[in-house]
Structure 1
């Protein structure tokens, strides 16, 4: 039996998202938009074919670690990212609250 390769997370800046790959197949993504020094996460999705493997957690942890490395802050509009942050307090120092102003900004940014 062949061991599956470890999942790989990559930032695809041109598409405003981090993608997770399993054996070179796209397994899911977490989408964002940048607002000055904030990275606003608004949607996370794992393909049904890869469900139940903990990939969303791996994806979001790697994405948030990358945000920390770039010096940006996190805004968790996405319910999954918000839930992840409640369970993983090591990112609380770089997390900003979701405000009505940010939600309005995001709506405008996504409409472009």
Structure 2
């Protein structure tokens, strides 16, 4: 059983995001939208109260691992996710480039 302060990542599909919890408190999230077999990550945020603890890295690693297990691919529109992927090449085989077409689709999807 994890310790009370061990961060836990969970996919909140209804809200299109993965959240990281420390204890019972949501410390941050990475948001996505799905397009076909691609999970397009577009925003990552860690609450200021939890900044500097490496939680964004834990959150994104867990999220990308879950994407791999689900058989989907990653599109890193979010600058943090893109930066993470540059340092963690183990996800390169399931990463697709960000294209103008994806950005247009995302903008339209988020505007709904």
TM-score with structure 2 setting the length: 0.96
User: Who is 1:16 aligned against?
Assistant: 16
Alpha-carbon distance in 2 for matches of 1:76, 1:27: 21
Q: Deviation at 1:5?
A: 2.1
Alpha-carbon distance in 1 for matches of 2:20, 2:106: 23
**1:82 partner SS:** helix
1:75 maps to 2:51: no
User: Who is 1:111 aligned against?
Assistant: 111
Alpha-carbon distance in 2 for matches of 1:22, 1:6: 6
1:28 maps to 2:46: no
User: Who is 2:64 aligned against?
Assistant: 64
| 1:22-43, Cα deviation, whole Å (9 max, x unpaired) | 0110000000000000000000
Alpha-carbon distance in 2 for matches of 1:5, 1:75: 31
Task: Report the count of equivalent residues.
Answer: 110
User: Who is 2:96 aligned against?
Assistant: 96
Structure 1: gaps of 5 or more residues: none
User: Who is 2:54 aligned against?
Assistant: 54
Structure 2: gaps of 5 or more residues: none
What is the root-mean-square deviation of aligned Cα atoms in Å? 0.9
Q: Deviation at 1:4?
A: 5.0
